[in-house]
Amino acid sequence: MSRPMAAEKKDAGTVELDELDIDILRSLNDNARKSFRDIAKELQVSLTTISNRVKNLERSGVIQGYIPIVDATKLGYDIMAVIGIKVMHGKIIDTEKDLAKEAGVFAVYDSTGEWDAIVEARFKSRAELNTFVKKVLDHPNVDRTYTQVVLNITKEERRVLV
């Protein structure tokens, strides 16, 4: 039985990773700015192997980009809201795409249950939150909303841990 190559496609959407791929992802999760040379030294493999593996992970869509992890409160975004949205007229996807374009929105989820969509957004003030919720309610496909303000964040992980 042959061992899978780096980031080998398993089916239409899944990528099969081997232990080296997983170790590379763990290393990048610790510090995405770590040089390939440092990763190669850490994992005791060649620099060329690391470079090729990371390129394969990027090409296969496992790695989609590199961004800094920013503390939104340091930028004045002290209010985080989770907003459930009930959509009319069967226009869920179009409505979600519209909402995703709004400033402050950092996540839009198509969901099951009472709410058709869940939006997570950050605001600098109650007034901004108020304006946003009223704008959402003015959307022609939105029937109603349910807003919860987050008091404290115990855990918020933005990396997929492997």
Specify which residues 81 forms β-bridges with. 121, 149
Q: Does residue 67 lie within any of the structural domains?
A: no
Compute the 3-state secondary structure of the chain and give helix, strand, coil in percent, each to the nearest 5.
35, 20, 40
pTM score, whole prediction? 0.80
Whether 81 and 50 map to the same domain: the answer is: no
Residues 38 and 77 in one domain: no
What pLDDT was estimated at residue 160? 79
The enclosing domain of 30 has a CATH number of: 1.10.10.10
The total domain count for the chain is: 2
Domain with 86, as residue range(s), is 72-150
The overall average pLDDT reported for the chain is 92
CATH number at residue 103: 3.30.70.920
Mean pLDDT of 76-100: 96
Look at residue 82 and tell me if it is in a domain: yes
Distances (CA, A) of 48 to 53, 98, 100, 151: 8, 43, 39, 47
Using one digit for the tens of pLDDT, what is the confidence trace for 123-144?
A: 999 999 999 999 999 999 999 9
Position 68, amino acid: P
**What residue has token string 């398993």?**
10
